[in-house]
Amino acid sequence: MKPIISVSHIRKVYKMGELETVALDDISFEVQKGEFVAIMGPSGSGKSTLMHILGALDLPTSGDYVLDGQNVSKLSDDDLATVRNQKIGFIFQAFNLLPRTSSIKNVSLPMRYAGIPQEKREATAKKYLEMVGLGHRLYHTSNQLSGGQQQRVAIARGLVMNPAILLADEPTGNIASNQASEIMGIFQKLNDDGHTVVMITHEPDIAAHAKRVLVIKDGNIVEDKKNTKQTRAKYIANQDI
Amino acid sequence: MKDVLELIRECFGSLTLNKLRTGLAVLGIVIGIGSVIALISLGQSSQKSIENSIQSLGSNLLTVIPGSANTGGVRGALGAGTTLTLDDALALQKDASITTIANVSPEFSRRSQVTAGANNTNTQITGVYPQYADVHKVVLETGSFVSESDVNALAKVAVLGPTAVTNLFDEGVDPLGQKIRISGQLLTVIGVTEAKGGNGFNNPDDAIYIPLSTAQKIIFGSTSLSTLSVEAKNADVMTTAQDDIGYFLLARHKIDDPASADFSIFSQNDILNTASSVTGIFTTLLGGIAAISLLVGGIGIMNIMLVTVTERTREIGLRKALGAKKNIIVTQFLTEAVILTVVGGVIGMMLGIAISFALAKIINIPFTVSPTSVLLSIGVSGGIGILFGWYPARTAAGLQPIEALRYE
């Protein structure tokens, strides 16, 4: 089976005048459809840079990144926008919802950029909001929702285009711990339904929800391990889902 | 279509967020468009007013004024000369070889103090022949105009314009038969003219007409004419008539070279064209000055849009991350800028119309607003939105999504 993510020898160097900073040295890995991968690492390890490249927000200096059969390492800005729109569902640490805008409008936004007609947008947005348990908050604006609720709106927004991967960047970083387990429960369920999830985090107990953990240090992958069912079960039991 | 409405609603949402700032940005456009409309409309109104009053002086009218007599190298002031006499007028009237003219009206006018009982005023006294009424379209309200026999008899009679009546007589007094005093001479009022609708600058209703002979011999002691008005047979022969009069007078004054003529002839069209071009330049000038404030308003819009782009960097980054292409971001910010300027344009247009209406009332000129200036102001304000919104919108669209998302 073809991998959904195929990263080969990716290198990213930032230039600040004369000074060159190597953020990613030589990264190669593959992710199969249906996997739940956590990318871990201390701050400064390059995991945010990797996340930007995986999210088609930035291009590698060298190396290839093939997402869902498409090589995205050398696309124009507008083509990258299309890739982000069609193939990637983003979940950010700070939720990044439009302020003073209803949940349903926020969730509809990616569909608007895809040119989907309004009636269909509203119906699809409603469906996904119900799926994340916010069927009763369709017309609440983001500042009327709790952190956990906002992140659930963001997850619904990440799902509406039926993307190849869900890319979550510290999804529980700004959320109270009791709500964090709810959010992780949603990711678990989505993964069980067949969604591919890639999650960046620095918290081991959040990473423990994933089936596979990649550890990055100084721009290289230093560890690629599978979480056993036992470790996962242990964390999940601890968190009372 | 629904998407356009949604875009506009969204833009209104962003703009109403900081009402004071949006209001101030719009104010620049309001003042710009408002002053352009008000000043252009004012210019056009005064143009119209001047045209009306020139036309009300009579149609097919040629005016001969004395002056430009070169005596020993000294050029006399136009109109102040004494080269035009009653004999010239009478000879012109009698000359059978000139077939293009209908009426000749010799005139002598001067401003003078006039009293009637305790009231007094300073007004234009015009010595006339009976033809004056035909040539200048003077219609009598009551009484009669100066007659041939009045002129022959040096009669001490006067015909008053309605403004002169108001100034000289108390309300309810019938002016007919009353005495007025000009330069120590008592004259009897024999008629009052109909109002022509005056304007502030040159009011044809504020006038007193007396027989030419009375004016020249009894009151002012002059033998020359101040103007000679000639009515051409019709509008088509105006130019021929102008030439006929010119050659006739040159011959009478024994002048060979038309360039050294001691008189000037204006047709009403000349006067109208001159006045129109003067007021036209004036209108353009006023509009141009007002356009500068519009430019300043546009720069204000650009400034606000740039601030907005900086403030909303995160929002722009998010939109790009979710798949918004450059054009979508450009469209969004251009729409906001255009909404700002068009709203300002519409308010400014209403303000401008209100101001020009008030000014027209105050200085008593007809109120005109051309539909083109209204359409133009909406078009121009929209254009300013696109022009000054373009750079901020491009700046927004050019932001890199990661930079924008990271921005705090």
pLDDT in tens, A46-89: 888 999 999 999 999 999 999 999 999 888 999 999 999 999 99
pLDDT in tens, A12-58: 998 888 888 899 999 999 999 999 999 998 888 888 899 999 999 99
The CA distance from B312 to B305, in Å, is 10
CB B370, CB B44: distance < 8 Å: yes
**Average pLDDT of A103-120?**
93
What confidence tens digit (pLDDT) does each residue in B339-365 have?
999 999 999 999 999 998 898 888 877
pLDDT of B61 over the 50 cut: yes
CB contact under 8 A, A109 and B322: yes
Residue B32 reports pLDDT greater than 70: yes
Q: How far off is chain A from B321, nearest CA to CA, in Å?
A: 6
What per-residue confidence (pLDDT) applies to A90? 94
For residues B309 and B14, the answer to whether their CB atoms sit within 8 Å is: no
| Residues of B (279-308) whose Cβ lies below 8 Å from A | none
Q: Which residues contact B318 (CB under 8 A, 6 or more apart)?
A: A96, A98, B404, B405
CA–CA min distance B377, chain A (Å): 33
A185 to chain B, minimum CA–CA distance in Å? 24
The mean pLDDT value for B307-332 works out to 92
Task: Answer whether A82 sits within 8 Å of B323, measured CB to CB.
Answer: yes
Min distance B401 CA to chain A CA atoms (Å) = 6
The residue in chain B having the minimum alpha-carbon distance to the alpha carbon of residue A115 is B3
pLDDT on residue B50:
82
Confidence band, pLDDT 50/70/90 cuts, at residue B96: confident
pLDDT for the residue numbered B200: 47
Q: Give the chain B residue nearest A121 (alpha carbons).
A: B3
Instruction: State how far the Cα of A191 lies from the Cα of A229, in Å rounded to an integer.
Output: 14
Which residues of chain B lie closer than 8 angstroms to A90, CB-CB? 321-322
Confidence of residue B202 (pLDDT cuts 50, 70, 90): low
Is residue A123 less than 8 Å (CB to CB) from chain B? Answer: no
User: Mean pLDDT of all residues in chain A?
Assistant: 90
Q: How many CB pairs under 8 A join A and B?
A: 60
Rounded distance between C-alpha atoms, residue B111 and residue B92, angstroms = 27
B177–chain A Cβ distance below 8 A for any pair: no
Q: What is the dihedral of CA B341, B347, B352, B357, to 10 degrees?
A: 160
At B180, phi and psi to the nearest 5? -125, 155
CA distance B256 to B242: 17
User: What percentage of chain B has pLDDT greater than the value 90?
Assistant: 32
In tens, the pLDDT along A177-229 reads 888 888 999 999 999 999 999 999 988 888 888 999 999 999 999 999 888 76
Q: Where are the beta strands (DSSP E) in B43-198?
A: 61-66, 70-71, 74-75, 101-116, 119-128, 140-143, 157-160, 179-182, 185-193
pLDDT at position A235? 60
pLDDT at B58 over 80: no
CA-nearest residue to A59 within chain B is B402
Closest by alpha carbon to B388, among B352, B316, B336? B336
Confidence of residue B324 (pLDDT cuts 50, 70, 90): very high
Chain B residues near residue A78 by CB distance under 8 angstroms: 325-326
B325–A82 CB contact, under 8 Å: yes
Q: Quick one: pLDDT at residue A127? A: 94
Dihedral, CA of residue A41, residue A44, residue A49 and residue A54, to nearest 10: 0
Which of B:22-61 have CB within 8 Å of A? none
CB within 8 Å: B328 and A84: no
Q: At what angle do helices A77-87 and B326-362 cross, to 10 degrees?
A: 110
Closest-CA residue to A36 (of A192, A166, A197): A197
Reported confidence tier of residue B129, pLDDT bands at 50, 70, 90: very high
Instruction: Inform me whether the pLDDT recorded for A7 exceeds 80.
Output: yes
* Structure ipTM over 0.85, yes or no: yes
Kindly report the pTM of this predicted structure: 0.71
Residues of A in contact with B323 (CB under 8 A): 81-82, 84-86, 110, 113-114, 161
Measured between beta carbons, which residues in chain B are less than 8 angstroms from residue A161? 323
